[in-house]
Amino acid sequence: MLLGALLLAPTVGAASDPYVLELEWGSPGSGAGQFTRPIGIATDPAGDVYVGDIVTGMIQRFNGQGGLVARWGGRGTGNGEFTTLQDLTVDAYGNVFALDSIGNRVQRFRDNGIWLIDWALPATVVNGTNSISAGGIATDEEGFVYIASPAHAAVLITDPVGNEQRRLKAPAPARFQVPTGVSVNADETVYVFDTFNRRVLPFDV
C-alpha cells in the first residue's frame, strides 16, 4: 500500500498516459511512516501531508517529499486517542481536526500533534443503540468545521470549538441517504457526497 504519489501535468505531445508518477512513500505496517488501513488524507497551507489510519488510530504528518515530520494518536478513548479514526482535515491556520466516528467526537490538534480540545457529536439512537454520527469532515477558510453525518442525514456546521451553527439538509423529496463525504472550496461552496443516492450535491453557504 503506497501513498503520497505526486502527479505532473503532461507535456505537449505526451503519450496516452496523461500523468507521470514522480514520488511515492509508505509500506504496510504499524511503524513510523507505515500504514495499516489509511482512510483520511489532507494537506496544510505549507504543503505537508497528513494521513489517518483507522486500524492503528495514528495520524502521521509528512513533508512534500515523504519525510516523516510528526506522528501521534493511537487506539483508545483518552485525549489524542481514537476508537475509530474516520477522517481528518487541516484548516487554513494549520489546526488538525480528526473525526472519531464510533467515539462520536471531533478532536482538534496543533500541526505537531499537541491536543487542544474535543467535542461530542449529537447522538442519535436507532433500535436502542447509538447510530454512527459522522462520516467525513472538512473546514472552510474562516475556520468553520463541516461534518457529514449519516445519523442525522445532514452536514453539521460548527465553529472551531464545536458550537453548532447550522445544519445542511438536502431539499425534499430527495433527502440525504447516508452522507459520508464533504469538501469546501475557496468560494465557500460545500460539496456533499450522498452515498446511497449515488450523487454529489453542492450548497452555496
Query: pLDDT per residue over 18-56, tens digit each?
Result: 888 889 999 999 999 999 999 999 999 999 999 999 999
Mean pLDDT of 119-146: 78
Compute φ and ψ for 184, nearest 5 degrees: -125, 130
Residue 150 forms part of a structural domain = yes
For 94-120, how does the pLDDT look when each residue is reduced to its tens digit (9 = 90+)?
999 999 998 999 999 999 999 999 999
The whole domain housing 166 covers 121-205
pLDDT tops 80 at residue 133: no
Residue 191 forms part of a structural domain = yes
pLDDT tops 90 at residue 58: yes
Which of 107, 60, 110, 113 lies closest to 79, judged by CA?
107
44 Cβ contact list (under 8 Å, min separation 6): 50, 90, 94, 111
Q: What is the pLDDT of residue 7?
A: 45
141 Cβ contact list (under 8 Å, min separation 6): 92, 186, 188
Q: How far apart are alpha carbons 70 and 135 in whole angstroms? A: 25
Sheet holding 199-204, edge to edge: 179-184, 189-194, 199-204
Q: In what helix (H) or strand (E) does residue 122 lie, and over which residues does it extend?
A: none
Cell 488524507 sits at which residue? 41
Nearest-10 Cα torsion for 160, 136, 87, 188: -50
Which of 86, 10, 101 lies closest to 41, judged by CA?
86
* Average pLDDT, rounded, for the chain: 88
Compute φ and ψ for 129, nearest 5 degrees: -130, 155
Residue 57 forms part of a structural domain = no
Residue 165 forms part of a structural domain = yes
Q: How far apart are alpha carbons 166 and 136 in whole angstroms? A: 17
Residue 151 forms part of a structural domain = yes
For 1-13, how does the pLDDT look when each residue is reduced to its tens digit (9 = 90+)?
334 444 445 544 4
- What's the predicted TM-score (pTM) here? 0.86
* DSSP assignment of 19-68: -EEEEEE--BSSSTT-BSSEEEEEE-TT--EEEEETTT-EEEEE-TTS-E
Residue 13 in grid coordinates: 505531445
CATH number reported for the structural domain that contains residue 200 in this entry:
2.40.10.500
Task: Using CB atoms within 10 Å of the CB of residue 27, give its burial: 0 to 12 exposed, 13 to 18 middle, 19+ buried.
Answer: exposed
Task: State the total domains in the chain.
Answer: 1
